[in-house]
Chains A and B, each alone.
Chain A
Amino acid sequence: MHRNRRTMLAGYLLAALGVAACGGSSKSPSAEVSASSTSVTAPLGYQASHAGGTLHLLLNASAGSIDPVPASQVPIVQADADVYDGLMGFVKAPGPAGNVVVPDLARSMPLVSNGGKTYTFTLRKGIRFSNGTLVTVQDVLSSLRRIYTVPSGVAGGLFTSFVGASLCLKTPSACTLAGGVSADPSADTVTITLTAPDPNILLKLALPAASIVPPNAPRHNGGDTPIPGTGPYMVASYGPNSALTLVRNPYFREWSAAAQPQGYPNEIVETFGVPVESEVTEVEQGQADGVLDPLPADRLTELSTKYASQVHVSLTPDTNYFALNTRVPPFTNLAARQAVNWAINRDAVVRLLGGTQVATPLCTFLPPSVPGYEHTCQYTIGSSATYSGPDLTKARQLMRQSGDAGAPVSVYTANDPVSEAMGGYMVSVLNQLGFKGQLRALTNAVVGAYFSNSKNKVQAMLSGWFPDYVAPSDYLLNNLSCASFYPDSAANYNQAEFCNKPIDAQMYRALSAQATAPARADSLWAKADEAVMRLAPEVPLYANKQVDFVSKRVGHYAYNDQFYMLIDQLWVR
């Protein structure tokens, strides 16, 4: 939720169905769109002259559990990336390179056998946790079991393909992963066996949830008690309402500059509970080095003129949409859904958020950062590939066709000012079309759980999706496949309750093509996206841009889709 207050579902970083997709997503069109003001060159290796100092970051809200398994909010994912390692790791480099996985605690890429169902990893030798003990293959085994014993959405969402996973999901206390994960201490190898091939398994093993921690780590959520890790930093102190302090891990020696490079600051301090306006002021005055919250809209103009060199803008891989429930009237009606799609002005939506430098309008479910994204637009005036405005004539015509004029529609959003403004805009468009719109802004703490649950028969809601990793399957299969609709559960991400068998088949075809023909897979994903949009279960609205504001002394800024700002790579000297 932290990443972005604009969409209430921002907390949905971790969730998926464990259905496979392509591994690396190096071919990403995001390079041309992202980093519009950043000009980060490829790292030239570690520059020791910039090492040292204390990096001081500010965060408004409390940060929650620091345990890597349930970690989903950006600040915690960012910090955990500097404290923990998995067998695999995302490359800690700016731009699209960050979506690629490389061996981290594993010595090399695993040996794949048994028709893509068995992966054998060899552990690097001599790596120690920050408490001094050596990392063993047994630790890998116990850490992978922790995925199931620590309550979170990760296990059921992503880690369903291990042999033995179903037992672990059902009764976590009896979880052994027998037959699924085995360790051979004499050869230093870990073998993972899957029930079916899962081309995404290496990406999943690079997520914070699969971090390797000592065997005595609690089986439940570690909460605010830090667990030792292997990364360049360790948690010196943590209070979810006060502060997080990371200091250098004395046992860390760089083993892979790609997966886990040495960090620059000697200490990283994050102070929590600071009002957002003061965060900006403190960074302006050089009393702190960076703001971890979305910047307040009324400061943007000031920042972009007086502090332009300290502001970094990057396109995020999130997608934000207005979901229309296809199983509750009036949006059971295709014409009504299409009418809304024609009528909502994405440019106005972007203007409400702070303009085109803060967000980018979307026509497709997949945002531009994702492979499979195609620059095309179905619901725009004229026939251009770029969004250029609503077509109210078409919308009204479809409305007449639908016969739904006068139908009451309740729009659900969170009750923070930006969401409320956005919801207010949706309601005013619905009213323009002849619906009787009503805004229902619920407190942030309950809104997602409420409108995701099909029991509540919510007609329309503002929602969003943050990918676990940047792959089209993570977006489309998690939000718009038949299997992604969990009735009567708050864990349902398919809020449109959309299920179309032919499109489902199309998505799975794209998925199976990933392993063999990635380029063809991408175009299949694009076709699936287009097919979904023709049925209009959602109105895609915008993709956010991450606007980071750092102090004058900060150098070596880098952003990637997985970790956002790479905090341990910042220079304060």
Chain B
Amino acid sequence: MSVQPGQVSSEIDPPSETPGESPPSGLWRVASGQLAHNRAAMGALLVLVVIVAACVAAPLYARYVAHTNPFQFNVSGTTVSDGKTVPVLQQSTTGLRLGVTPIGPTWSLSHYFLGADNDGRDVFARLLYGGRTSLVIGAGSAVLCCLLATIIALIAGYFGGIVDGVLSRLMDFVWAFPVYLLAISLSVVLLASGGLNVGPLHLASNSLWVPTLIIAGCYLPYVARPIRGQVLSLRRSEFVEAAVGVGASDVRIIFRDLVPNILPTVIVFAPLMMAINMLTESALSFLSIGVRPPNASWGTIINDGIGLLYTRPAVTIAPGLALAVVAVALNVLGDGVREAFDPRGRRFGRV
């Protein structure tokens, strides 16, 4: 089940014409040159670099600027707003005096810039820390997903027949499988057992590997399917048939002839998948089955903010906007990469 719908599979589908002689070695140089001249893509890259740098600097900000620990509850603390010392969580003083409201944005970088959440923690500092988590999960799952999808697509497309049949149905299975159920069940299993040991790896319940693996897994078919199509048509191309004819080994054909040809497609997929995966991560966290405390991600901060939506919308809106900005930048960059590899929209444009 797609959490973040958006099957743009036909957007990047097997090329109609067979690519010419084996690996287009000049393609990479041309493409990177193209990309460097694409102003929109370079702008997007700059935005990404700035956001990543800000998130990397999160501990510095928390420690030296905000003087706060964004993972520590600050239920009884105070801060400074407009030169006055005020409690971080303010008891309502009007009417029936029901409810406690956290402090709103002070717009002062050293004192709760974006205000506090329900537990009195600095939202801006959490936003920076949450960005690290979201970016790591997004990038990690995108890389993992593209890598696994490429392997599956190569095996299915090259060997064909029954191997292809089984792998394709497996992809159908994964695509239609309820991710939520898997996520909920896995979280209960991990929490209850205190973690799983997979070989030498220890998978703790709040490990970031859990959402990373789940997300990478659920989008496998999405990436594998179009690449498999491409491998299929490459497999039937003259130069591969020729290599088979000469008696080249399967491994050699796969690595010498197929991989270099599908690599551009995979590269084009990567930023788009990262954007989709980050949105998916936030949706899972919104449903309380993604990132676990004490970690924070943009999705969990949005989730924290939903309970404050009517009084302190900034807690919800800020991480949502951050997510949207990164996703836009990744999409623009992804478009740039595609254009760089395929200026006339030929390679990936047609079904």
Contacts and interface: CB of A to CB of B under 8 A. Distances in A.
So, do A and B actually touch in the complex, CB under 8 Å? yes
Contact of A308 (B96, B101, B188, B304): B96
Given A417-B304, A439-B293, A456-B192, A313 B311 contact: no
B191 A351 contact: no
B92 A300 contact: yes
Given A305-B92, A348-B75, 18 more contacts: A296-B307, A298-B308, A302-B310, A304-B97, A305-B96, A306-B95, A308-B96, A311-B96, A345-B76, A351-B76, A355-B91, A355-B97, A355-B98, A355-B100, A357-B99, A418-B307, A438-B206, A443-B188
A260 to B, nearest CB: 32
A425 B75 contact: yes
A298 B310 contact: yes
B97 A297 contact: no
Interface in B272-329: 288, 292-294, 303-304, 306-312
B95 A308 contact: yes
A37 interface: yes
Interface in B230-245: none
A297 B303 contact: no
Interface of A: 37, 277, 296-306, 308, 311, 313, 345, 347-348, 351-352, 354-358, 410, 415-418, 420-421, 424-425, 428, 438-443, 446, 450, 456, 547
B89 interface: yes
Nearest to A302: B310
A443 B92 CA distance: 31
Contacts of B72: 428
A122 to B, nearest CB: 47
A446 B89 CA distance: 32
B73 to A, nearest CB: 5
B25 interface: no
Given A300-B92, A421-B119, A441-B293, A313 B308 contact: no
17 contacts: A296-B307, A298-B307, A298-B309, A304-B94, A304-B95, A304-B97, A348-B75, A352-B75, A354-B98, A357-B92, A417-B118, A418-B307, A424-B73, A440-B205, A441-B191, A443-B187, A443-B188
Contacts of B214: none
Contacts of A450: 192
A303 B98 contact: yes
Contact of B98 (A304, A347, A351, A456): A304
B73 A442 contact: no
Contacts of B307: 296-298, 417-418
Interface in B66-95: 72-73, 75-76, 89, 91-92, 94-95
A425 B97 contact: no
A311 B303 CA distance: 27
A301 B194 CA distance: 40
A347 B73 CA distance: 13
Given A415-B288, A440-B191, A37 B308 contact: no
A439 B204 CA distance: 12
Given A356-B91, A421-B118, A421-B119, A311 B98 contact: yes
A301 B99 contact: yes
Contacts of B293: 420, 424, 439, 441
Nearest to A295: B98
B190 to A, nearest CB: 9
B144 to A, nearest CB: 26
A439 B304 CA distance: 16
Given A356-B91, A446-B188, A428 B288 contact: no
Contacts, number: 127
Contacts of B208: none
Given A348-B75, A428-B72, A297 B99 contact: yes
Given A296-B307, A304-B96, A428 B192 contact: no
Contact of B118 (A297, A303, A304): A297
A523 B235 CA distance: 88
Interface string B247-273: 000000000000000000000000000
Contacts of A547: 98
A277 B188 CA distance: 28
B101 A301 contact: yes
Contacts of B96: 37, 303-305, 308, 311, 313, 357
A225 B331 CA distance: 53
A305 B184 contact: no
A348 B98 contact: no
A313 B194 CA distance: 41
A351 B73 contact: no
A328 B94 CA distance: 46
Given A311-B98, A417-B303, A441-B293, A304 B188 contact: no
B335 to A, nearest CB: 37
A263 to B, nearest CB: 28
Contacts of A300: 92, 98-99
B230 to A, nearest CB: 41
Given A298-B308, A298-B309, A351-B89, A357 B188 contact: no
Interface string B167-204: 00000000000000000100110011010000000000
Given A301-B311, A351-B89, A357 B97 contact: yes
B311 A298 contact: yes
Given A355-B100, A417-B303, A441-B293, A301 B192 contact: no
B75 A351 contact: yes
A345 B45 CA distance: 47
A442 B99 contact: no
- Interface-central residue, A345, A351, A357, A450, by most chain B CB under 10 Å: A351
Nearest to A446: B188
B98 A301 contact: yes
B119 A424 contact: yes
A300 B312 CA distance: 13
Given A440-B191, A443-B188, A304 B92 contact: yes
A355 B94 CA distance: 13
A421 B194 CA distance: 21
A304 B100 CA distance: 12
- Interface-central residue, B95, B118, B292, B307, by most chain A CB under 10 Å: B95
Contacts of A354: 98-100
Contacts of B97: 304, 355-357
Contacts of A425: 73, 75, 119
Contacts of B73: 348, 424-425, 428
B188 A442 contact: yes
Contacts of B288: 415-416, 443
A258 to B, nearest CB: 31
A439 to B, nearest CB: 6
Contacts of A37: 96
Given A304-B94, A356-B91, A456-B192, A345 B310 contact: no
A327 B16 CA distance: 70
Contacts of A298: 99, 101, 307-312
Contacts of A420: 293
Nearest to B92: A301
A311 B92 CA distance: 15
Contacts of B76: 345, 347-348, 351
Nearest to B94: A305
- Interface-central residue, B73, B101, B194, B292, by most chain A CB under 10 Å: B73
Contacts of B294: 424, 439
Contacts of B292: 441
A379 B303 CA distance: 35
Nearest to B117: A421
B10 to A, nearest CB: 36
Nearest to B312: A298
Contacts of A351: 75-76, 89, 91, 100
A444 B306 CA distance: 19
Given A355-B100, A443-B184, A456-B192, A301 B94 contact: yes
A289 to B, nearest CB: 19
Contacts of A348: 73, 75-76
A50 to B, nearest CB: 25
